[in-house]
Amino acid sequence: MMMQRQAVISDMPQLGPEGQLSLQSIGDIQTEAGAVIPDVHIAYHLWGKYAELPDGTNNVVLIEHALTGDSNAADWWADLIGPGKAINTDILCVICTNVLGGCNGSTGPSSEHPEGGFWGNRFPAIDIRDQVKTEKQFLDALGITHVKAVLGGSMGGARTLEWAALFPEVIGAAAVLAVSARASAWQIGIQSAQIIAIENDHHWHDGNYHESGCNPSKGLAAARRIAHLTYRGELEIDERFGTQAQKGENPLGPFRSPEQRFAVESYLDHQANKLVQRFDAGSYVALTDALNRHDIGRDRGGLNKALEAIKVPTLVAGVDTDILYPYHQQEHLSRNLGNLLAMAKIVSPVGHDAFLTESRQMDRILRNFFSLISPEEENPSTYIEF
Task: Provide the annotated active-site residues.
Answer: 154, 322, 352
Task: Quickly count: other Cβ atoms within 10 Å of residue 251's Cβ.
Answer: 17
Packing angle of the helix pair 155-166, 281-292 (nearest 10 deg):
50
Amino acid (1-letter code) at residue 245: A
- Nearest alpha carbon to residue 281 among 226, 231, 216: 216
- Nearest alpha carbon to residue 99 among 130, 120, 139, 61: 130
HSE value, Cβ hemisphere, 13 Å, CA-based, for 157: 24
Q: Give the 3-state secondary structure of residue 75.
A: helix
Residues 71, 267: Cα–Cα separation, whole Å: 26
Burial classification of residue 185, based on how many CB atoms lie within 10 Å of its CB (0-12 exposed, 13-18 middle, 19 or more buried)? exposed
| 331: alpha, beta or left? (left if phi > 0; alpha if psi -120 to 50) | alpha
Task: Quickly count: other Cβ atoms within 10 Å of residue 78's Cβ.
Answer: 12
Amino acid (1-letter code) at residue 329: Q
Residues in the chain: 386
